[in-house]
């Protein structure tokens, strides 16, 4: 993992993501790219007749944003040796998409503006758009990541061959922290599989990827989403990692049926990989 992209809008969730990225960067020796997008007020681009902003006012506005970003970088990344920053004049989703490709980022770390419900965290936001469309792994957090020390990571999957690439990317992240990996397959009444068959497939998957610090887990629950979250709470996992299809993002995994029953404290940072 060589390059980490951290989009920020200076909000509290962005601060959480920045603290998390700072810790990851120090552990992995990654280059960090701090990115801020400016959606300019009406008239700031058109400096001709009828503009609401003069050229001096526009330059002052941009300069203030730059100074704010420099102060932000110093505050949240004081111990990171290799950190760069950029300002782009785009809407947030397009800016993140284009800049991640430009720098060839290996990981995007983002905050979520959700309040207490999981649905708000991943659906209908710029964060969700990035998760749904990005070919680059995305780590989403809504908690303070300053003391982040991920020792227990869940990789929830069907463990079919098409998940291999996503898992290889996951290992790059896990190896930076010497984390223990908990391989998880959730059985539901509608998609039930006997334990022996499941464990054999997960064991073969682990051997193929030459894992040595891991556990094999099957979990029975009413749905995949509740099984993942209940298991994560039982082992006090630090991160939930998922492979997701870009067509529907995470909305097909985490739906409104569970948001009413989860408190803010139940939500873990989520690391997603597009397959």
pLDDT band with cut points at 50, 70 and 90 for residue 120: very low
Does pLDDT of 262 surpass 50?
Answer: no
Number of Cα atoms under 13 Å in the Cβ half of residue 163:
22
Number of Cα atoms under 13 Å in the Cβ half of residue 6:
30
pLDDT band with cut points at 50, 70 and 90 for residue 112: confident
Contacts of 118 (CB under 8 A, 6+ apart): 254, 258, 259, 262, 267
Would you say 135 and 101 are in contact if contact means Cβ atoms under 8 Å apart?
no
Q: 165 φ, ψ to 5°? A: -65, -45
Token pair listed for 132: 């749904």
Place of tokens 């008239």: 43
CATH of the domain at 211: 3.40.50.12370
Residue 183 pLDDT = 96
Does pLDDT of 197 surpass 80?
Answer: yes
pLDDT of 170-187, one tens digit each?
Answer: 888 888 888 899 999 998
Least confident of 125-129, 207-211, 214-218, 222-226: 125-129
Number of domains in the chain: 1
Least confident of 64-78, 106-120, 136-150, 259-273: 259-273
| Whole-angstrom Cα Rg for the chain | 20
pTM equals: 0.81
Per-residue pLDDT averaged across 22-35, rounded? 91
Residue 97 pLDDT = 92
42 vs 53: CA distance, rounded Å = 9
Residue 145 pLDDT = 63
Q: What is the 3-state secondary structure (H, E, C) of the chain?
A: CCEEEEECCCCHHHHHHHHHHHHHHHHHCCEEEEEEECCCCCCCCCCCCCCCCCHHHHHHHHHHHHHHHHHHHHHHCCCCCCEEEEEECCCHHHHHHHHHHHHCCCEEEEECCCCCCHHHHHCCCHHHHHHHHCCCCEEEECCCCCCCCCCEEEEECCCCHHHHHHHHHHHHHHHCCCCEEEEEEEECCCCCCCHHHHHHHHHHHHHHCCCCCEEEEEEECCCHHHHHHHHHHHCCCCEEEEEECCCCCCCCCCCHHHHCCCCHHHCCCEEEEEC
Residue 46 pLDDT = 47
Q: Which domain holds residue 31?
A: 3-274
139 vs 137: CA distance, rounded Å = 7
Per-residue pLDDT averaged across 23-47, rounded? 77
Instruction: Choose between 50 and 159: higher pLDDT.
Output: 159
93 vs 124: CA distance, rounded Å = 12
207 vs 167: CA distance, rounded Å = 13
239 vs 148: CA distance, rounded Å = 10
């Amino acid at each position: 993992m060589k390059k980490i992209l951290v989009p920020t809008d200076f909000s509290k969730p962005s601060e959480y993501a920045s603290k998390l990225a700072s810790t990851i960067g120090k552990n992995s020796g990654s280059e960090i790219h701090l990115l801020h997008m400016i959606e300019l007020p009406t008239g700031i681009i058109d400096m001709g007749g009828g503009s609401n902003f003069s050229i001096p006012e526009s330059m002052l506005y941009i300069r203030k944003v730059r100074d704010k970003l420099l102060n932000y970088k110093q505050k949240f990344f004081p111990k990171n040796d290799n950190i760069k920053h950029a300002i782009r004049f785009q809407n947030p989703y397009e800016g993140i998409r284009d800049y991640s490709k430009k720098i060839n980022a290996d990981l995007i770390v983002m905050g979520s503006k959700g309040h207490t419900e999981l649905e708000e965290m991943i659906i209908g936001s710029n964060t969700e758009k990035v998760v749904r469309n990005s070919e680059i792994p995305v780590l989403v957090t809504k908690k303070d990541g300053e003391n982040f020390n991920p020792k227990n990571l869940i990789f929830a999957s069907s463990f079919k061959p098409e998940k291999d690439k996503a898992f290889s990317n996951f290992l790059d992240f896990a190896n930076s922290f010497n984390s223990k990996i908990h391989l998880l397959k959730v059985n539901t009444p509608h998609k039930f599989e006997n334990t022996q068959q499941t464990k054999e497939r997960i064991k073969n998957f682990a051997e193929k990827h030459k894992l040595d610090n891991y556990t094999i887990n099957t979990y029975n629950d009413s749905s995949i989403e509740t099984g993942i979250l209940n298991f994560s709470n039982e082992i006090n996992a630090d991160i939930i990692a998922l492979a997701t299809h870009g067509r529907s993002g995470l909305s097909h995994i985490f739906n409104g049926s569970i948001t009413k029953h989860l408190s803010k404290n139940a939500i873990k940072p989520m690391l997603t990989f597009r397959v």
